[in-house]
Structure 1
Amino acid sequence: MSIYFVHQFTDALLGNVLSIDTKEPWLTYTEWAAAHGDLVFVRLLGQEVVVINSQHVAEALMDKRSRIYSDRPYLATLEPFGWSVVFAFTGYGDEWRLSRRLFHQTFRPDFALKFRPKQIKRAREMIVNLIDDPQHYHDHFATFSSSVAMSVTYGYQTSPRDDPLVRIVENALAVSLQVMTPERAILLKIFPFLLRLPDWCWGSAIKRDARISTHRMTEMTDLPFQYAQEHMVENLSLSQVSMVSDNLQRMEKLDHASKSIFETALKKVAAAAITGSYETTTSTLMTFALAMVLQPDVQRRAQAEIDLVVGGDRLPTFEDRASLPYVESVLRETLRWHPIGPIGVPHATSSDDIFDGYFIPKGATVISNIWGISRDEKRYPKASSFIPERFLAVNNALTDDDPAKYVFGFGRRACPGRHAADASVWSVIVTMLATVEFSPAKDDQGKVIEFTPRFTTGFTHSPMVFPCNISARSRAHSELVDVFRTGA
């Protein structure tokens, strides 16, 4: 392993040949990894940044030395864009520990098993909407992605279509996700006066965006929380306990000062649950849909496996999961092919460290280059291609390589909702494969509409809406969906 030092003092001003692509920094980091090794040290305008380009090194530092690598760095965009309401960005300390404990109580692996009936039910609801209104497939993915988390977190039951709270979440994330990376936050760190420019002045767009983002993030945090408070008694009478209502009951026993601390942490945890479930699951489903349009052979093989195991008179359930290794490999390849968080959420060191002879200073920003790990050609030949078979051994059994071990992050700051997220994604992918067909869209003359996939940039990496056709696989599958549509 080698370490490479890049002095990047003038990136934002000069854009020289060593400059980082601030929209897609993972591409720059991956290029450096190929040339210089698993650990890269960058100085961004006085801030030390350590980029980790291998799963092995990430685990060695963030898992095995988690007491050093569990803090969060300063992001100049965090407060101005209203993202301090999400506990995922909270610094390592007592507030984070309280928030993490609250989150874990609801989303720990054994408790997440209770979500499965809701996940299957919501997946089947989504299929109905997908067949009835295929053009708005992204909206249906978004509604599904938010539905289970909204129910578990706030006791709120989303509408099958055009839910107002889902729309609020979507609007909140639309502006701010692009600026929540260290590379994009540098602009505000260098030029903090941009937030004080008058609205008519050139360069004031970031101020307007920050104001809009803060308003939307506050709305996204407060409105569903208020709903949970107002409907707490009603939901308890129906035995519909949510994370917020359950903890609001516990909060009644605290003194005033403790109540304030507890409520602030609870709001941040709830906001993290919603933003995490929405963005992660929606983007993964968009990646899956894109893969199915581009790789019809993969889709047919997965459908054949489901037909063989499940049959034609019912829809898949979680009990079928272990018997569907190819579907599992499709899910793994979906996570690997275009990882949603290509550089994850950055960590920071809380003390000096020495690793493999190299000094890593206290306060350094530490980035896991998830994209680079997923694009390692030695591990994943033809890494840019969608090849689920790479996760199957010769006997059709799954290999030990599971991208979920790195795409959800490392150490104490790994995504605490990953078990629920994994189950949600599997439930809807297997249900879609069982019931619908993804195919290229055609124009009025019957010609395939060619397109080049485009992706969002910034904190997340997700396919933008693309032309595709979605229809029921057959009359039999349409009848199965009809049964669920009518509630029979």
Structure 2
Amino acid sequence: MFEAMNTPSYAILFLVAALFSLGRRLARKTATGASLPLPPGPPTFPIVGNALQLDSVAPWETYMKWSKTYGDLIYSRLLNQDVIIINSERIARDLLDRRSYNYSDRPMLVTTELFGWTFNVGFFCYGDKWRKHRRMMDDKLRSTAALAYRPLQMRKAHQLLIDILEAPNEFVHHLQMMTASTMMLITYGYEAEHRDDPLVDLVENAVMQGLKVMTPEAAAILGAWPFLLYLPSWFPGAGFKKKAQESRNMLNEMVEKPFEYTTSHMDSNEATACMVSDVLGQIKDEGNYVDLDVVKNVASTLFAGASETTTATLVSFILAMVLYPNVQEQARAEIESVVGRDRLPNFDDRDSLPYVEAVVRETQRWHPIAPLGVAHAAVNDDIYEGYYIPKGQLLLFPVADKLLTWDSFSGATVIANAWAISQNEANYHNPSDFNPQRFFTVDGKLNDDKVLYAFGFGRRICVGRHLADASLWAAIASLLAVFKFSKALDEQGKEINIEPQWTAGLTARPFPFACNIQPTITMEKLHQMIDQFA
């Protein structure tokens, strides 16, 4: 259908979009009146709004800079899309938590449909479909249910230690394999190969490609000029269509292939207990009907969401240990004082290792892996501290060969800037420093700040946060007990300086960096310590 559109059709399409946008803005002004202004924000330019003022690599930093001039609740416009930015935890809690009934919706980004992410529960609009999926996720991942996965998570953390001891220079790959194989086992009962596993590679490639485009900033151009969707893929500047098709194909395989693995093994009575087999087995035993697409969506959402975020957090942890050697020395000393040198830490030790706990919290605060989280949208118009926040309004617009319910022209996208919250100097002294001590009270006890904003807000808070928290603690405590991280040396024996940089997209992880990883025990000793858990 893209290729069938001719030049006059593009012009008509663009004219309709422009007229709709203009009409919506005029209607808003009429409805709200002069007494209900939008939040303050930087001056907008014709057509582009504030798009040219954004740091395209780190828009969260631009949003935080704006707060120094315009406050913690800001209005901006990216081309044709209104964006409300929240730069403080107080306002985020007021709106997204205490008014979660109104801010649990999602803006419908055109890239969601275009790149094949419609399976992902995290991007669903608020409503019955989302509730059906969320109930299944909550049932399998609530805090008490997540306890059942701890032995598996610790086993994978121990395998990580062996892998890094064998090939320390490949530590990023080992971290990826730990998180991916953990989630594949929990979700599908699939034991991944250590290298070149086809299912793990498929998922990682699909997720990494999608994370670059699943942001309001990335979707803004297509949202403003939808006629671009009808350009043939060979047309200059329309190369995104080929990438979109590749993404849709990969994501379809990601949803279907692991599910087929589990169901085929259930048919032959060879399936390992996992989320998918538990749900399908329960359905069979109780004779209840359930849409299999719900099971597929839930499983693939959990795997896609947990795999990259946990890996990125652990890469940040190792980067921090290299840059702040005093922190790892203090953490290792605490582990040795509580656990000793003849065994590895386990979950029973967690309450006795408060400094390690603070390291986990500081890792999540230092550079939030999802700096802007996943955008929210208001269900109804709202007023907060005298400012007007418009609701989303649905617009049917043709994409590919069907009508897409698209919100890119209407309502405001609401973004909670986790980066700004994490860098708030009023709460975190010298926020750019990695300092676990900030999580202790004056009497030496852990404070109440658990950095929950790293997992989102309100009813859309990350459902897998309990699982992620346990995986992070198991990996971090184990790594601190066995390895010493330091800067790599060049050929002259001098330390190689590291200038930390992070990738752009829905999630952010450190760019590759060289480091030196030295074990504090032998491989034989490590195996003896791991065998104690058997």
Give the TM-score band, short-chain normalised: over 0.9
Q: Deviations over 1:79-107 (max 9, x none)?
A: 11111111110111111001001111111
In 1, the alpha carbon distance for the partners of 2:225 and 2:276 equals: 39
SS in 2 for 1:452: coil
Alpha-carbon offset, residue 43 of structure 1 = 2.8
Alpha-carbon offset, residue 485 of structure 1 = 7.1
CA contact (8 A) 2:381 2:389 kept: yes
Residue 304 of structure 2 corresponds to 275
Q: Deviations over 1:407-465 (max 9, x none)?
A: 10000000000011001000000000001111111223322222322211011111122
CA contact (8 A) 1:391 1:401 kept: yes
CA pair 286-12 structure 1, distance change in 2 beyond 3 A: farther
Q: Give the letter for the 1:472 counterpart.
A: P
Alpha-carbon offset, residue 27 of structure 1 = 0.8
SS in 1 for 2:111: coil
Alpha-carbon offset, residue 14 of structure 1 = 8.8
The reply to whether residue 74 of structure 1 matches residue 108 of structure 2 is: yes
SS in 1 for 2:83: strand
Residue 293 of structure 2 corresponds to 264
SS in 1 for 2:415: strand
SS in 1 for 2:326: helix
In 2, the alpha carbon distance for the partners of 1:255 and 1:329 equals: 47
Structure 1 residues without counterparts, runs of 5 or longer: none
Residue 173 of structure 1 corresponds to 207
Residue 242 of structure 1 corresponds to 274
CA contact (8 A) 2:81 2:220 kept: no
Alpha-carbon offset, residue 193 of structure 1 = 3.7
The reply to whether residue 365 of structure 1 matches residue 413 of structure 2 is: yes
2:422 corresponds, among 357, 360, 374, to: 374
CA pair 271-232 structure 1, distance change in 2 beyond 3 A: same
Q: Which moved more, 1:38-47 or 1:386-395?
A: 38-47
CA pair 248-7 structure 1, distance change in 2 beyond 3 A: farther
Structure 2 residues without counterparts, runs of 5 or longer: 1-37, 393-411
CA pair 254-312 structure 1, distance change in 2 beyond 3 A: closer
Residue 419 of structure 1 corresponds to 466
1:482 corresponds, among 527, 530, 533, to: 527
SS in 2 for 1:84: coil
SS in 1 for 2:343: coil
In 2, the alpha carbon distance for the partners of 1:252 and 1:308 equals: 51
Alpha-carbon offset, residue 297 of structure 1 = 0.8
1:35 corresponds, among 26, 45, 69, to: 69
In 2, the alpha carbon distance for the partners of 1:284 and 1:99 equals: 26
SS in 1 for 2:41: strand
CA contact (8 A) 1:70 1:413 kept: yes
Residue 27 of structure 2 corresponds to none
In 2, the alpha carbon distance for the partners of 1:294 and 1:430 equals: 18
In 2, the alpha carbon distance for the partners of 1:200 and 1:13 equals: 29
Q: Give the letter for the 1:397 counterpart.
A: K
1:298 corresponds, among 316, 327, 351, to: 327
Alpha-carbon offset, residue 22 of structure 1 = 3.3
CA pair 429-149 structure 1, distance change in 2 beyond 3 A: same
In 2, the alpha carbon distance for the partners of 1:14 and 1:20 equals: 7
Q: Deviations over 1:220-267 (max 9, x none)?
A: 1111111111112456x67x32221222234458999x64xx212221
RMSD, matched Cα: 2.2
Residue 402 of structure 2 corresponds to none
In 2, the alpha carbon distance for the partners of 1:253 and 1:288 equals: 44
Alpha-carbon offset, residue 67 of structure 1 = 1.0
The reply to whether residue 338 of structure 1 matches residue 367 of structure 2 is: yes
Q: Which moved more, 1:166-175 or 1:87-96?
A: 166-175
Residue 265 of structure 2 corresponds to 231
Residue 402 of structure 1 corresponds to 450
In 2, the alpha carbon distance for the partners of 1:318 and 1:162 equals: 31
Q: Which moved more, 1:266-275 or 1:444-453?
A: 444-453
CA contact (8 A) 1:68 1:351 kept: yes
Residue 159 of structure 2 corresponds to 125
Q: Give the letter for the 2:91 counterpart.
A: V
SS in 2 for 1:332: helix
Residue 457 of structure 1 corresponds to 504
In 2, the alpha carbon distance for the partners of 1:486 and 1:103 equals: 33
SS in 1 for 2:202: helix
Q: Give the letter for the 1:248 counterpart.
A: L
Q: Give the letter for the 2:476 counterpart.
A: I
In 2, the alpha carbon distance for the partners of 1:77 and 1:23 equals: 18
CA pair 7-213 structure 1, distance change in 2 beyond 3 A: farther
CA contact (8 A) 2:88 2:421 kept: yes
Residue 187 of structure 2 corresponds to 153
CA contact (8 A) 2:41 2:70 kept: no
When the two structures are superposed, what TM-score results if normalisation uses the length of structure 1?
A: 0.92
In 2, the alpha carbon distance for the partners of 1:208 and 1:30 equals: 35
CA contact (8 A) 1:9 1:43 kept: no
Q: Deviations over 1:190-227 (max 9, x none)?
A: 23343443343321221122122112211211111111
Q: How many residues get paired?
A: 477
SS in 1 for 2:516: strand
CA contact (8 A) 1:126 1:141 kept: yes
Identity, in percent, stands at: 46
Q: Give the letter for the 2:41 counterpart.
A: F
CA contact (8 A) 1:115 1:148 kept: no
Structure 1 runs, 4 residues or longer, greater than 4 Å off: 9-16, 250-256, 484-488
CA contact (8 A) 1:318 1:427 kept: yes
CA contact (8 A) 2:109 2:219 kept: yes
